[in-house]
Amino acid sequence: MPAPFSSIRLARYAPASRMAAHHHDEASLCLVLSGDYEETIRGRAADHGAGALLYCPSGEPHAQRFGKRGAVKLLFRPTAATLDHLAEHVALREAPSLRSARIGDLGRRMAFELALDDPFSAAAIDGLSHELLALFGRGARDTASGPEPWLRAARDYIEAHADRPVSLDDVARAAGRPAAQLSRAFRRTFGRSVGEHQRQLRLARAADLLAHTRTPLSEVAQICGFCDQAHLNRAFKAETGVTPAAYRRLS
């Protein structure tokens, strides 16, 4: 069987650092070797430590906030064949994650082989990769429940209209539920309010424009649905710890 990952690399993240809402053009798996961080994705905020294995869909906005020890992670890029196989059995769009001592052990062994890099390391990494993929697929399949269809419809409606503010009533109509019920269930399921989810999407779009274009900040604010540049500045700094201008310089 071909190798399930086209690349595997080690990444280190500074203590108490943050990554603003952003997205990647390609799907990835991430295995936490040490440290911890909070990730916000698909409207959920969760803490992840050593032994956690997370899937991030392509194009999915997510943000990360690292703990006092920072974090060390292995980053995997699945091949197209791997993604096709997983998609037959796992709801990949829901960005599943799991954590176990066995995952942590596999990660440490893979990191060791990457560092050793002798004539046998490639074969060892290949075997460990297949074992990790099987562990992820079985775990994500067995624990998947996902939000109810009407809540997914609400979230999808918000994301389809991310370029402009939408009211709670608008989202409730799209979901076919009373606004009060939607508000309670959305926060309980996704860990944030409807308004907070909208703001996260707008910030992800802003971060992308800041990093990859020279669009003036006032236009970024307008494109992303903020009232003005000052509103963008306040929201962006509250989320990332830096101003939009500083984020652009660092990108």
Domains located in the chain, CATH noted: 5-143 (2.60.120.280), 149-250 (1.10.10.60)
Sign, CA dihedral 231-236-242-245, equals negative
Within 10 angstroms of residue 110's Cβ, the number of other Cβ atoms is 24
Sequential pLDDT tens for the chain (251 residues): 789 999 999 999 999 999 988 999 999 999 999 999 999 998 888 899 999 999 999 999 999 999 998 999 999 999 999 999 999 888 898 899 998 888 988 999 999 999 999 999 999 999 999 999 999 999 888 665 567 889 889 988 998 888 777 899 999 999 999 999 999 988 887 777 898 888 888 888 888 888 888 999 999 999 988 889 999 999 888 877 788 998 888 76
Q: Phi-psi category of 2—alpha, beta or left, where left has phi over 0 and alpha has psi -120 to 50?
A: beta
Rounded CA-CA distance 118/113 in Å is 8
- Contacts of residues 111-115 at CB distance under 8 Å and 24 or more positions apart, as own/partner, are 111/10, 111/33, 111/74, 114/8, 114/10
